[in-house]
Structure 1
Amino acid sequence: MKTQEINIKPLAKQCFKKVFRTTTEAPGFMHLVFDKKQLTPYQFRSIMIDLKKELSALNVSKFNKKLSYHWLVRFDQQVNTPFHVDNAADQSILLLGYEPSDIESELQLADYHKYANKAYNTQEDYFNRFTPIFKEDDALLKPFTSKIKSYDNTHYSIVIINNSNPKSNLETLGLFHKAVILNKDLSKSRIVNSMVLNVVSTDEITEDEKKESIFLNSTVISK
């Protein structure tokens, strides 16, 4: 969805409903688009942090668990990936923040819960053999895959994804994701801000404020 006004609380409520899903009726992801003229890279990263805080508050309200950073990183990358879930806790949320770029790329999201329901007698039959990287033919996931244009030289965008592994005791349902670079050009940049959030006990001691400060103020861009 394109946002004309950046009002975090209502945005977060919409995202929470779609991403923190308990059934496959919800997509498990949300795509937010922001006009380049509205933002600087610093302000864009600030929005990601504000969304994290509000999503954490909503998760505490519903599930009595908060969100804490597994990692925060900026990288300049033009690499295709397989369908996968990022390495994190069994229950986690991924925010990918794309800065304006001329590099054509797309993000594909595959609902492995729907796939399990269709391809196996029971979901547990698939979940018992689940691996963080999908090692079978991608064509099997095609009916359950959504594609997002993850490049635009006039807009910033954030994709929020349920990155959880399938476990019987988890509250929400995850997705696979993969990056596809459509026109690689190493003379140009494709900067992505990656934020992985673990779902943890409200009592757990974290260093989130320290990590946020480094993320906001660092000029380091990983390759």
Structure 2
Amino acid sequence: MKIEGETIKQIANKSFQAVFRTTTETPGFIHLVFRKKELTPYEFRSIMIDLKKELSKLSVSKFNKKLSYHWLVRFDQQVTTPFHVDNAADQSILMLGYEPSAIKSELHIADYYTYANKAFEAPEDYFNNFSPVFKDNEDVLLPFISKLKLVNMNNYFILIINNSSPKPDVDTLGVFHKALIINKDLNKSRIVNSMVLNVVQKDQVTEDEQRENSFLNTNLISK
């Protein structure tokens, strides 16, 4: 989805419908594209925080639960990963903000719920033995994979992904994700701003504001 004049609330509403899914009729993720010439890195991180706040309001409205940071970091990453869900609460959301980079890469999303429903006579057999890292032959996931290209020196990208595991007390359906680095070059940077957002009770005490201020103003980049 190219962002051309939409407000944060409009973006959040579309994102919530796609990501906070309760059926497999929606994808469980959304890909947002922002033009580089309109943003600074600081403004880009501000958009991510504003989106988190709006998504949290929508989550409270529908599920009576808010979003709180599990982690909030910036890192320079050129590592291909297997399909996985990130380590977080059973119900969580992953927001990845990619800064312009010459490193060619892709993010692959695999709908493990649709896979379980199609490949297993009893999908619960898969869910009951769910692993946060997919260890079988990835070829079985091919019909259920979406591939997103992330290389472009002219754009910033935000990926919002349902990072939840299939547990009985989880309201929404998660997906796997996988980073694929196509042309690794350690002389160049591939900066990713990463938020993992736990879905928690709305009255839970958090320190989100302090963490947001550090994230907005930092120049630190983890390896």
1:82 counterpart SS class: coil
Q: Which residue of 2 aligns with 1:183?
A: 183
1:50 to 2:12 alignment = no
Q: Which residue of 1 aligns with 2:119?
A: 119
Q: Which residue of 2 aligns with 1:105?
A: 105
Q: Distance in 1 between matches of 2:180 and 2:191?
A: 14
Q: Can you list the C-alpha shifts for 1:154-190, whole angstroms capped at 9, x where unaligned?
A: 0001000000000122110000000000011111100
Q: Distance in 2 between matches of 1:43 and 1:123?
A: 43
Q: Can you list the C-alpha shifts for 1:74-118, whole angstroms capped at 9, x where unaligned?
A: 000100000000000000000000000000000000000001001
Q: Which residue of 2 aligns with 1:83?
A: 83
> What does 1:7-156 correspond to in 2, within 5 Å?
7-156=7-156
Structure 1 unmatched runs, 5+: none
- Contact between 1:31 and 1:159, CA under 8 Å: does it hold in 2? yes
Q: Which residue of 2 aligns with 1:157?
A: 157
Amino acid at match of 2:36: K
Q: Which residue of 1 aligns with 2:2?
A: 2
- TM-score under structure 1 length normalisation: 0.99
Q: How many residues align?
A: 223
> 1:151: how far off?
2.0
Q: Distance in 1 between matches of 2:117 and 2:154?
A: 39
Seen in structure 2, the aligned counterparts of structure 1 residues 217 and 6 have a Cα distance that, compared at 3 Å, is farther
1:125 counterpart SS class: helix
Q: Can you list the C-alpha shifts for 1:33-77, whole angstroms capped at 9, x where unaligned?
A: 000001000000000000000000000000000000000000001
- Contact between 1:105 and 1:179, CA under 8 Å: does it hold in 2? yes
> Which aligned runs of 4 or more in structure 1 are off by greater than 6 angstroms?
none
Q: Can you list the C-alpha shifts for 1:110-167, whole angstroms capped at 9, x where unaligned?
A: 0000010011112210011111000000001110000001221100010000000001
Amino acid at match of 1:168: P
Q: Can you list the C-alpha shifts for 1:11-31, whole angstroms capped at 9, x where unaligned?
A: 000000000000000000000
Structure 2 unmatched runs, 5+: none
Q: Can you list the C-alpha shifts for 1:179-217, whole angstroms capped at 9, x where unaligned?
A: 000011111100000000000001100000000001001
> 1:6: how far off?
4.6
